[in-house]
């Protein structure tokens, strides 16, 4: 094939693509309109008959989810996708109400996040929120303005639900988990003096640091040193040497998992044997997988622990392992819970209409979930008990 043929081929395929694109866009719009019509439809449609378990809705309730399946937050997004799909499959078996779950990828890019959200709000009765908090701040207002309820399943930053009365979340905030973690750890290890380290270029870890610092103050623990690093850093030896010199009772670290693993490993190498208390970023099985023995003694507060008691949790873990051949993590558990909570909200009013789901979510109280007994409070944030875990023999166990 000579060069001009190749060029012609490339050009024509690009053109073909562009043409299909136009067609596709039109088709998408038309579909969106049709969906909107169905959503607004009075007869049959998304309003059902019966209540609670007996509720029957004729059409599947459209649920959109914007997750970071590729890009920087892909590891979280993939877990969430697995959790959601598992929940959707289980709900389909229950019957009565079915869900048409559409999962879209925001590529961990705000531009994609906004675009995807705009599209999902057109077609869905409820949208399951973006993986990362910053993305949520940028995308959620679109749903708020369109009057579509949003359920955040992993965002822990403050102010997420303050963006509007259509925004709910099932994930615990750092402000809910960290004080419990600090209190439990202070009690268990008799902490008096700690060194705090955090990455100051990430919204999540920075707000985590703020909560840590007020919780430590509350517990009367002295912070002898505060050290900052970047989320992209991998060498913490200099900082850790400085930290070690302060002879703390514990290291308190607010960082993402990418920093957590080298930080913990290097701390142990330098002979820092005190407990390391981490934020939600540390709540990842990778810590033990990649950190090995170094991870022993890391204390992490979490919304969910695999060893938590309860039938629901055991069944969830079994089903997840059967499906994916691996243990679920908290992101999967929260995503799984998210769809289950939506189901509870839909069944409460036996309607898949946006306003009814909104009312249903606001009324969620004492629902049994894999995260524990969950309620949604007046600020539209979830409330349930956090678990304080410590790494022992290579796995997260509940710290008593």
Partner 1 sequence: MSQAVLVFVALNAILAFSFYAVLVAGQLSLGQAGFGALGAFTAVALAPEPSEVGDVPALLVAILIGMVVGALAAVLLGLPTMHLRGVFLAIATLGFAEAVRILLINAEWTGGANGMSVPKVVTPLIAWVALAVVAYWFWRQGPSSYGRALAAIREDELAARAMGIDVGRHRLSAFVTAGAVAGLYGVLWAYFVRLLAPEDFDFTRAIDGLVTAVVGGSTMWLGPLLGSGFLTLVPEVQRALGVEAGWIRPFIASALLLVVIVFLPGGLGSFLPRVRVRARPTASGAGTDRPGLVARTHAAAGEPVVRIVGGNKDYGGVHAVRDVDLTVGSGEVVGLIGPNGAGKTTLVNMISGLVPASSGTFEVLGTRPGRTPVHRIARAGVSRTFQHSKLFPRLTALENVLVGAHVVSRPTFLRRLLWLPGARRDEAVVVDHAAGCLARVGLADRSSVDASALSYGDQRRLEIARALASDPSLLILDEPAAGMNNVEADALSELIASLADEGLTILLIEHNVGMVMKTCHRIVVLNFGEVIATGTPEEILKNPAVVEAYLGSDGDSPPGTPHTQEAR
Q: By the criterion CB under 8 A, which residues form the site for partner 1? A: 6-7, 10-11, 14, 17-18, 20-21, 24-25, 27-28, 69-70, 103-105, 107, 110-112, 114-115, 118-119, 122, 134, 137-138, 141-142, 157, 200-203, 205-207, 230
Q: State which H helix or E strand residue 272 sits in.
A: none
CB of 266 to partner 1, least distance (A): 22
The rounded distance, in Å, linking the Cα atoms of 195 and 226 is: 6
* Selection from 215, 209, 211 nearest residue 227 by Cα: 209
CB of 110 to partner 1, least distance (A): 6
CB of 24 to partner 1, least distance (A): 3
> Which of 21, 289 has the CB closer to partner 1?
21
DSSP assignments along 312-349, one per residue:
HHHHHHHHHHHHHSS---HHHHHHHHHHHHHHHHHHHH
What are the strands of the beta sheet with 250-254, ordered from one edge?
222-229, 193-199, 250-254, 276-278, 298-302, 387-392, 395-398
CB of 131 to partner 1, least distance (A): 13
> Which of 136, 350 has the CB closer to partner 1?
136
Three-state DSSP class for 155? coil
Structure tokens at 353: 């209409």
CB of 5 to partner 1, least distance (A): 11
> Which of 17, 289 has the CB closer to partner 1?
17
> Which of 6, 94 has the CB closer to partner 1?
6
> Which of 137, 304 has the CB closer to partner 1?
137
> Which of 14, 245 has the CB closer to partner 1?
14
Where on the phi/psi map is residue 322: left (φ > 0), alpha (ψ -120 to 50), or beta? alpha
CB of 40 to partner 1, least distance (A): 19
CB of 104 to partner 1, least distance (A): 5
Three-state DSSP class for 250? strand
> Which of 137, 189 has the CB closer to partner 1?
137
CB contact set of 43 (below 8 Å; sequence gap of 6+): none
CB of 381 to partner 1, least distance (A): 18
CB contact set of 152 (below 8 Å; sequence gap of 6+): 128, 129, 130, 136, 140, 160, 161, 167, 168, 169, 170, 171
Three-state DSSP class for 377? coil
* Selection from 144, 143, 145, 69 nearest residue 107 by Cα: 69
> Which of 16, 238 has the CB closer to partner 1?
16
């Amino acid at each position: 094939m000579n060069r001009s043929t190749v060029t012609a081929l490339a050009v024509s395929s690009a053109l073909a693509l562009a043409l299909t694109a136009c067609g596709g866009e039109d088709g998408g719009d038309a579909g969106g309109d049709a969906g909107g019509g169905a959503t607004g439809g009075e007869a049959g449609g998304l309003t059902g008959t019966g209540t609670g378990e007996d509720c029957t809705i004729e059409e599947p309730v459209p649920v959109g989810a914007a997750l970071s399946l590729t890009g920087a937050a892909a590891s979280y997004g993939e877990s969430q996708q697995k959790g959601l799909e598992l929940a959707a499959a289980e709900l389909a078996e229950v019957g009565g109400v079915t869900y048409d779950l559409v999962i879209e990828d925001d590529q961990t890019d705000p531009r994609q996040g906004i675009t995807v959200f705009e599209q999902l709000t057109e077609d869905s009765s409820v949208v399951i929120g973006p993986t990362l908090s910053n993305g949520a701040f940028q995308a959620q207002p679109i749903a708020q303005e369109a009057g579509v309820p949003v359920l955040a399943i992993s965002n822990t930053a403050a102010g997420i639900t303050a963006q509007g009365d259509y925004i709910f979340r099932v994930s615990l905030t750092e402000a809910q988990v960290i004080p419990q973690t600090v209190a439990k750890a202070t009690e268990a290890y008799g902490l008096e003096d700690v060194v705090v380290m955090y990455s100051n270029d990430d919204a999540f870890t920075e707000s985590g640091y703020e909560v840590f610092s007020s919780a430590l103050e509350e517990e009367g623990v002295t912070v002898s040193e505060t050290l900052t690093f970047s989320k992209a850093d991998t060498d913490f030896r200099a900082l850790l040497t400085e930290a070690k010199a302060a002879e703390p009772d514990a290291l308190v670290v607010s960082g993402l998992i990418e920093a957590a693993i080298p930080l913990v490993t290097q701390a142990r190498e330098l002979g820092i044997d005190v407990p390391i208390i981490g934020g939600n970023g540390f709540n990842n099985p990778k810590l033990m997988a990649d950190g090995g023995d170094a991870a022993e003694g890391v204390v992490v507060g979490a919304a969910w622990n695999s060893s938590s008691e309860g039938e629901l949790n055991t069944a969830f873990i079994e089903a997840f392992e059967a499906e994916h051949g691996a243990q679920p993590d908290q992101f999967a558990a929260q995503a799984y819970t998210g769809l289950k909570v939506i189901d509870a909200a839909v069944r409460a009013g036996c309607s898949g209409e946006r306003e009814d789901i909104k009312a249903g979510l606001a009324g969620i109280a004492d629902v049994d979930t894999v995260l524990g007994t969950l309620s949604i409070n007046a600020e539209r944030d979830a409330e349930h008990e956090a678990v304080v875990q410590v790494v022992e023999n290579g796995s997260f166990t509940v710290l008593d």
